[in-house]
Structure 1
């Protein structure tokens, strides 16, 4: 009884603290770009969408309808589901392994980084995890005895899963494999009540199938074919390396032991033990294997979560058989992992901390700069004729601005990024895919940070073809320019003439984060399509230190062969910076590019380090 009371107290404290921490972080964390698009889908309520079934969009709509246009309100339904999951895992474990193991399984769900932060973001993995746990619970109960309440729970889980994500098909497949591997599972599948539940699950897929039938299978093709290379890639090894870090190493070992032991353990809960082990083990192994053939460019580290939740149910039994020092180490490592996971989101929610990560591979670009951009857009629209509209350069900008401005109808230019994320078909269905023609003034908002530098000029040329030569932009620069936006006032009448684009620049020296002393030599090149540059101003920590010598010969047309800057090949510049006047430590070198059309554009900054004298 003392052990049970202690385990219960720990769980309740953890649940309270983690839930409170989620609420605080969720209220401060800027909207992730995918969340913004789900919000936009929620403003166009439908049974299904190009990228997902309907449930995620419906939940975002429910959140803002109940709590208003705020990130916390949007995330509230997902936070509620995230708070419910540890309770469900605890209850399942308690039923089959005792109350102490139940409270411990719930606590581990609160500590494991992947599940600890579940619900912070309004993403489909949250309801999908709920569906997986409901099906897991129903399956374990049906193995013991087929009854109506367990069949209803199975039907509910299958319904929620089908409305959450295409990937839930994998969860269903794993469940069938586990049941077919067990004699009790094969008997269970012969019961008509189970088949009624399965029929409900099948019917739940009909809205998604109908959407695909009406849209040339655009969503299905994207999720199954277009986003995955389906060819072996060694980069998939990274998936195997990162998973033990995301669930913490000792807990990872315990889960694998639960999977292995669960296939051969005896005892009163033998069938359920094997069931949890098979579901978790087959699911996790399958996803690990697919990691070598599927999409490795976008975030996929959360895919094994349903399998991990199945294994967590039995993990306390494994841990309690280990030496005390190892058990404690496992618990403390899980707690540390949870703290680090929350730390990342706290960093992403702080503008000052994001700025310090500028240029780093962990810089959270998709969380950065949206509120300053929205403020600049409001200012520009106030100075434009009444009836002017916003035109976004890609779906990310359109969705984020839509949320900030409270408008779900912002038009978006065709962009490879829309195709890459499976959003083009949905934008076209909403008639929000804009081809460049206009009958009212428009404020074009571009995000060059979303484009690879080597593809930027080609992208600018494509925009010229869509909307015409571009006027001087207003630059909204965040975090030393690592998140930049360009705002252009486009009149009703399309401009004519040669393609004019934003300027491009590059620093040949100094190198990124180079350590310097004395005089710093600055060299590079810069050009601006159609009109050319008048001068290049050098900045240190945002302060001008004078103009560089611009116009030296530097022929870059071997790479930028389609550039039409009239000053080629004289587009090089050089300057000197006296670092003796600077304090030792990190500083930022920037450029301000002055075009011959009157444009003034601040370029992305680059760090350098002044050594102690």
Structure 2
């Protein structure tokens, strides 16, 4: 028996794994209970309430698991996430089993512990997303492939079939795992032997059959899902953002563990045992493949988690590398890996705290897809209380429709056509459900509460978006404004009752801009303020300056500014070009520190709209 495999050392590694597994599982359960619902989770819940073999954005498994969670656990965030949490807890145990068979029991427990600490793997299941199921599917295929390289049998072929089918039902992205796995087998003599066995091809055929619902959906819908995943969401032109891949992945995996995986891949390729070379080829090709893809693929949406299957394949090789390191090197590995997982969990804890979200409103990392949904659902309830019975809620984009749907337990909220619906591949699904509405032409005279996400549209496109809404519903009445986290999330609620005047000009929410001071400016003494504001259709009567939500002075509104009308060419505010404002505020009585500067816009139609706030640091 090798020194590293003595009963005492094996028992110590096992105990460390079990203690950490229990701690991580408890931490994830608590975070999943507190964490606000993420936008994609809400849409998968909505898909689960419209059960189907496949959907426009994904195969069916994620929606089925979401439905299973709420059916068994009730209508709550934690119940929705519970199936994904349970799947994620299977991941480290699979790593333990694979590694222990190939390298020994102690290395198995060490690899499983690293799987718990690897931030991308350790945080799986916190959200009801397809990655947990895809990680399990990857490891089932890795395990089956390694066993088949030693001996082809029915049990291993069955495991391969299960992994392939589970992956096919999880995500389009699993095609990369299948392709790389096939190439890895072809690169090995024993792998080519495996591919000549009819039992293996029976398993492959079973896995291929699991793609049938997705293929059928695309066949029936002009390849809309496939085009979105492979064409529409990617620029497919070279860009240099891909060069950041290595730095980003090293941080996400944690630098020392990333270095260990690189070393493990290099050494694994030189091993004599076919399963070990298989792990190295599979892991290296997946990671390098996504690195290359990063120079051509989508940069707008999150993609940092894509290489996770490659890291999972490399994990069994890492204990062999780490065992040769000095004690300080091993301590550094465990310390940085633990810190990485703690930072990821800490981020989700921060996202769960309204005060911290509000403090981060001006930061680039502000978690907009987690923020504001509870406040919005409460505002919608308040607005509905003031409207006639039977008023229908209509959302202007799929995010609002799904989040309000979950909050109100109503998967049938109508949604207007919106660029977001197309950008995220959800427009075809909304049409299939009959939830995409053209506007007032579909509603007749029925009362409607229209909920608009103003912060979901680029500012330079916002006025055109408002005019587009006018085209669908008529002139917009004064909105009920909901500014969440100083307006970083901004919602407008419009009570629409009766048919509007078809020939009336577009009346839209107010638009504004603070030219002085700049966001995040440091000020003391007397603060000079200037900017512009307008409101299409009716114009503004006056503008007030707000500090931390309280009026601190009336601004001189109605100054000449010809550039505003020239930039916003479609604006019909009757006061153009007299839409500028300026004023001064004495800060001598204001406490030093971070404050929030905003505007209150008073329309000629009696509307009062608070504009988004920007940070101001007061110094004395």
The total of aligned residue pairs comes to: 609
2:380 and 2:64 mapped to 1: Cα distance? 28
Asked whether the equivalents of residues 113 and 246 of structure 1 are also in contact (C-alpha less than 8 Å), the reply is: yes
Asked whether the equivalents of residues 553 and 585 of structure 2 are also in contact (C-alpha less than 8 Å), the reply is: no
Report how far residue 378 of structure 1 moved.
Answer: 1.1
**Corresponding residue SS for 1:580:** coil
Find out whether 1:505 has 2:508 as its counterpart.
Answer: no
* Residue in structure 2 matching 1:165, options 168, 171, 176: 171
1:152 and 1:297 mapped to 2: Cα distance? 39
Asked whether the equivalents of residues 442 and 492 of structure 1 are also in contact (C-alpha less than 8 Å), the reply is: no
Report how far residue 164 of structure 1 moved.
Answer: 0.5
* Residue in structure 2 matching 1:250, options 246, 249, 256: 256
1:381 and 1:580 mapped to 2: Cα distance? 43
Find out whether 1:230 has 2:236 as its counterpart.
Answer: yes
Q: How does 1:361-372 map to 2 (within 5 A)?
A: 361-372=364-375
Q: How does 1:321-400 map to 2 (within 5 A)?
A: 321-400=324-403
Find out whether 1:538 has 2:545 as its counterpart.
Answer: yes
Which residue in the other structure is 1:549 paired with?
Answer: 556
Which residue in the other structure is 2:26 paired with?
Answer: 20
Which residue in the other structure is 1:298 paired with?
Answer: 301
2:507 and 2:246 mapped to 1: Cα distance? 47
Which residue in the other structure is 1:63 paired with?
Answer: 69
Asked whether the equivalents of residues 444 and 488 of structure 1 are also in contact (C-alpha less than 8 Å), the reply is: yes
Find out whether 1:589 has 2:597 as its counterpart.
Answer: yes
Report how far residue 495 of structure 1 moved.
Answer: 3.9
Report how far residue 88 of structure 1 moved.
Answer: 0.7
Give the alignment's TM-score, normalised by structure 1. 0.99
Report how far residue 575 of structure 1 moved.
Answer: 1.5
1:392 and 1:583 mapped to 2: Cα distance? 41
1:462 and 1:493 mapped to 2: Cα distance? 17
Note the alpha carbon deviations across 1:72-105, whole angstroms, 9 max, x for none. Answer: 0000000001111111111110110111110001
* Residue in structure 1 matching 2:530, options 520, 523, 533: 523
**Corresponding residue SS for 2:486:** helix
Which residue in the other structure is 1:275 paired with?
Answer: 278
* Residue in structure 2 matching 1:262, options 264, 268, 272: 268
Show structure 1 runs of 5+ residues with no match.
Answer: none
Asked whether the equivalents of residues 530 and 583 of structure 2 are also in contact (C-alpha less than 8 Å), the reply is: yes
Report how far residue 240 of structure 1 moved.
Answer: 2.4
2:421 and 2:366 mapped to 1: Cα distance? 22
Runs of 4+ in 1 over 4 A off after TM superposition: none
Which residue in the other structure is 2:215 paired with?
Answer: 209
Find out whether 1:408 has 2:415 as its counterpart.
Answer: no
**Corresponding residue SS for 1:587:** strand
1:155 and 1:128 mapped to 2: Cα distance? 14
1:78 and 1:239 mapped to 2: Cα distance? 27
Report how far residue 322 of structure 1 moved.
Answer: 1.1
Report how far residue 276 of structure 1 moved.
Answer: 0.4
Which residue in the other structure is 1:5 paired with?
Answer: 11
Note the alpha carbon deviations across 1:315-358, whole angstroms, 9 max, x for none. Answer: 11111111111111011000000000001000111101101101
Find out whether 1:421 has 2:428 as its counterpart.
Answer: no
Which residue in the other structure is 1:576 paired with?
Answer: 584
1:64 and 1:599 mapped to 2: Cα distance? 41
Which residue in the other structure is 1:562 paired with?
Answer: 570
Asked whether the equivalents of residues 504 and 526 of structure 1 are also in contact (C-alpha less than 8 Å), the reply is: yes
Query: What's the RMSD between the two structures over aligned residues?
Result: 0.8
1:186 and 1:27 mapped to 2: Cα distance? 47
2:180 and 2:498 mapped to 1: Cα distance? 56
